[in-house]
Structure 1
């Protein structure tokens, strides 16, 4: 079993408990764990696949799974549907109608605010049933800037890599655009560069031009903790620190409705079985996975890492995400608004191309031209790979 978890002692401790319990529970199979740093993990997988030396069990970032399945790295998971149906939809990885991966947890995004700041400025506190509209959000940002915040919003633009499609494509989807045509699964043309996408990215550029946000560091939630910004667009992984520092004044707000309903990203690290794993070993891998999805382990994982448990029963037992837990709102946001990234083998190219286009636009590039260039790059990759079989 390979994981990307080297350097994360809390995560490794939960895995050790699961593995020790499974190995002690039966005499037929033995799981042996090897951990890699996240930064080098994908390279290790690619090299091992080329050498036909993948482990039976491996974890993967959710949106990368279709590429690995298409490349022949993975076999269908074939866990009982009663198990996979009990998980959050975004914790189950499907490609061409088959389940190839499943996770113990998901993450969710929110807007952090201080109740005292919103009340002082006469700003309505949004709810999941009545989130801020785009017009409201613009008015809120302008009012907070006038109140004395040099840059009232931290949108996380100092970050890089997968954060960009994870964080900003849900905003795009809420506005009516998307990264890719999810129906035909062959092109981004007319979707990523369509009228709704152009409108959204024109707004995105305005946010930075207006000084409502910038891309200065640090990465994370420190500017909100220090009260340098009033609103922070961030994830559940920063919630515990914010709760400790801001206390009862902390608000965990829903995403903005850009016109077509609120959206946040979904689909995080999940487990799969390699295609080269022999039939007897594959059976053992499935037995281990079935064992590992016990609610008690999902709760342990969630409370150790402060991530949303993939089952309702595990969430109910969590000290953070139960109905009266301080971070229950994240479980609600995930259930109501999460949308997975497009399940195409072309996603790695979509991700890097989107990041470049969005950063160019943030820095002042012509919106339509930047999106057209992104579409050209994505569609070129799709065509050069014979539509990835679609």
Structure 2
């Protein structure tokens, strides 16, 4: 089972990538070719330090190479810590591999910069239309990457705790309203039995902040950017609904419901009984089940007024624009699009398979399975992060703004400043619209 820190890394990759893009081609596209030596194609992955997922990648490459004689794929695996720098350096030098994995929210930035080429996935055995929307990355109506899996945000509690304090167990069809949620927190807080009534994981750095908390903003009716044209954050991030979200977010600390900064191990705090309700993800489901068994309560996100929302998109696969053998790269990517590989990735990573057909073959995620709630949540509630090359910058600005709000900054002023910074970035870089 992988941690959320490992799954959510767009900020570290994208911040470096964005700098390289702006300093390099500036959105005008790349020239030259690389990534292949004749019919031998290079594939890069960040999974060197993750034996289970890397094993699936190696199996697909082995099967592809054995199944035909025209192309050969060679793997170069990096530890995640060095993958970021390696990709950025190669992109700047126009020496990217033909095939590479990329964090989903980062795809528009790389597509805009000319480092990724559009894909034709029509020859794969799994149709794009059958995938979770969050696992297919598009930009300006073209597909640039696809993933084999996703994860889902959720709240964990214990049925016995909710019953003790006469709190309704929410369902996908009837999630908690804001009022119900706040009443539940008040009841638990009043008992004095828990160190943390609610733990939002605020001690985690980086991409966790927009991934975990912008869905709450969206459920209030705000957003990180106005998605009608992707040209401004005004109104979306500093409008009435966004301000309401910010004041509520801060109130969780002032009312003593949640710590301003969580411990380094919020999942352990939940499993050790220090936390009553934890905002976490599907990656913790098995460990929590092992601890609490049938007493574990897996709860859907709260409906704060505009419907329940969770973040969407994880690691995906694409083809570099500088690949000198795009036909071979496309052949490999289409070959990989078989249900059995979607199943293998989901099992290896403890994640949600990107298709319903694959999910039915993963224990617990099948219809009626204990973890099927995650698949349904990903299907019904997932919102991809803004499809714009500006997302790496938006992510950084939102993360700082949310931290400032929790620390007591004036909500309206903080959000206004965030909008000003984001809009200036959009204007300065002349980003084209998302899709």
TM-fit CA distance, 1:249: 0.6
Partner of residue 55, structure 1: 97
What SS does the aligned partner of 1:31 have?
strand
Confirm whether residue 232 of structure 1 aligns to residue 278 of structure 2: yes
TM-fit CA distance, 1:219: 3.8
Confirm whether residue 221 of structure 1 aligns to residue 263 of structure 2: no
Partner of residue 86, structure 1: 130
Confirm whether residue 263 of structure 1 aligns to residue 309 of structure 2: yes
TM-fit CA distance, 1:216: 2.6
- Aligned match of 2:287 in 229, 241, 246? 241
Task: For 1:32 and 1:205, locate their aligned partners in 2 and report how far apart those are by CA, in whole Å.
Answer: 50
Partner of residue 176, structure 2: 132
What SS does the aligned partner of 1:32 have?
strand
Q: 1:287-333: CA deviations, max 9, x gaps?
A: 11112121111111111111000111100111131124331111111
What CA RMSD, in Å, does the superposition of the two structures yield over aligned residues? Answer: 1.2
TM-fit CA distance, 1:229: 0.6
Task: For 1:180 and 1:306, locate their aligned partners in 2 and report how far apart those are by CA, in whole Å.
Answer: 31
Q: 1:184-236: CA deviations, max 9, x gaps?
A: 11110111011100000100000011111111312441111011011111011
Q: Superposed, which structure 2 residues align to 1:74-153 within 5 Å?
A: 74-80=116-122, 83-147=127-191, 148-153=193-198
Task: For 1:151 and 1:109, locate their aligned partners in 2 and report how far apart those are by CA, in whole Å.
Answer: 19
- Aligned match of 1:367 in 411, 415, 421? 411
Partner of residue 224, structure 2: 179
Confirm whether residue 296 of structure 1 aligns to residue 336 of structure 2: no
Task: For 2:337 and 2:268, locate their aligned partners in 1 and report how far apart those are by CA, in whole Å.
Answer: 34
What SS does the aligned partner of 2:66 have?
helix
TM-score (norm: length of structure 1): 0.97
Distance 1:304-1:325 versus aligned 2 partners, 3 A rule: farther
Contact 2:388–2:433, Cα closer than 8 Å, also in 1: no
Partner of residue 35, structure 1: 77
Task: For 1:193 and 1:256, locate their aligned partners in 2 and report how far apart those are by CA, in whole Å.
Answer: 21
Contact 1:103–1:268, Cα closer than 8 Å, also in 2: yes
Task: For 1:237 and 1:297, locate their aligned partners in 2 and report how far apart those are by CA, in whole Å.
Answer: 19
Partner of residue 215, structure 2: 170
Partner of residue 250, structure 2: 205
TM-score (norm: length of structure 2): 0.87
Partner of residue 156, structure 1: 201
What SS does the aligned partner of 1:111 have?
strand
Partner of residue 68, structure 1: 110
Contact 1:266–1:340, Cα closer than 8 Å, also in 2: yes
- Structure 1's consecutive aligned runs of 4 or more residues displaced over 6 angstroms after TM superposition are none
Contact 2:223–2:242, Cα closer than 8 Å, also in 1: yes
Distance 1:389-1:256 versus aligned 2 partners, 3 A rule: closer
Q: Superposed, which structure 2 residues align to 1:17-28 within 5 Å?
A: 17-28=59-70
Distance 1:298-1:9 versus aligned 2 partners, 3 A rule: same
- Aligned match of 1:334 in 373, 378, 387? 378
Q: 1:73-113: CA deviations, max 9, x gaps?
A: 00101111862112111100010111111000011010011
Contact 2:140–2:433, Cα closer than 8 Å, also in 1: no
Give the number of aligned pairs: 388
Gapped regions of structure 2 (runs ≥ 5): 1-42
